[in-house]
């Protein structure tokens, strides 16, 4: 860039010409596509002695929200405002039906409620396969 007598920067015609020529060269050369097989690194187990690869270790301590769901229902705001202590809200889940186990809102398993040391817990009875989880996400 050249500087004018008043101290402001001016762009010369040579600079514009050089920039335009550089743009034409980059436009003329199409970018080579990256093969899909090399796009993402495989995250599968490396070997039987170390089932979690080193690159997966860094995400193992990330917290996720685990939710066990008894059931759901839709209720009008009018009815919601009328709820008081002792009110009963009917859910769509049936008694004895397995509870849904969700991680960050995504169904991963089903199970049954258990009590251990005066605390509620859940015994997993069915794990949703990764293929089934992907199928449910596509709905």
Range of the domain at 103: 2-137
Query: The tokens of 16 are what?
Result: 């514009």
Domain count across the chain: 1
pLDDT at 126 over 80: yes
* C-alpha to C-alpha distances, 40 to 31, 61, 94, 126, 130, nearest whole angstrom: 19, 22, 43, 30, 18
Residue 93's Cβ-count burial label (10 Å; 0-12, 13-18, 19+) is middle
| Better-predicted residue by pLDDT, 28 or 5 | 28
Q: What is the pLDDT of residue 55?
A: 74
**CA–CA dist 129, 108 (Å, integer):** 8
* pLDDT, mean of residues 48-68: 77
pTM of the predicted model over 0.75: no
* pLDDT, mean of residues 58-75: 90
CATH number at residue 132: 2.30.330.10
**CA–CA dist 136, 22 (Å, integer):** 48
pLDDT at 80 over 90: yes
The total number of residues written for the chain in this structure: 139
**CA–CA dist 9, 70 (Å, integer):** 68
């Amino acid at each position: 860039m050249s500087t004018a007598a008043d101290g402001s920067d001016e762009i010369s015609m040579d600079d514009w010409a050089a920039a335009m020529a550089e743009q034409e060269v980059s436009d003329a050369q199409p970018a080579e596509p990256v093969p899909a097989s090399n796009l993402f690194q495989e995250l599968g187990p490396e070997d039987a002695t170390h089932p979690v690869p080193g690159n997966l270790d860094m995400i193992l301590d990330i917290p996720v929200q685990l939710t066990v769901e008894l059931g759901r229902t839709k209720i009008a705001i009018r009815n919601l405002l009328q709820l008081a202590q002792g009110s009963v809200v009917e859910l769509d889940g049936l008694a004895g039906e397995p509870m849904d186990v969700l991680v960050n809102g995504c169904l991963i398993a089903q199970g049954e409620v258990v009590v251990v040391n005066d605390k509620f817990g859940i015994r997993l009875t069915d794990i949703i396969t990764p293929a089934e989880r992907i199928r449910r996400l596509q709905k």
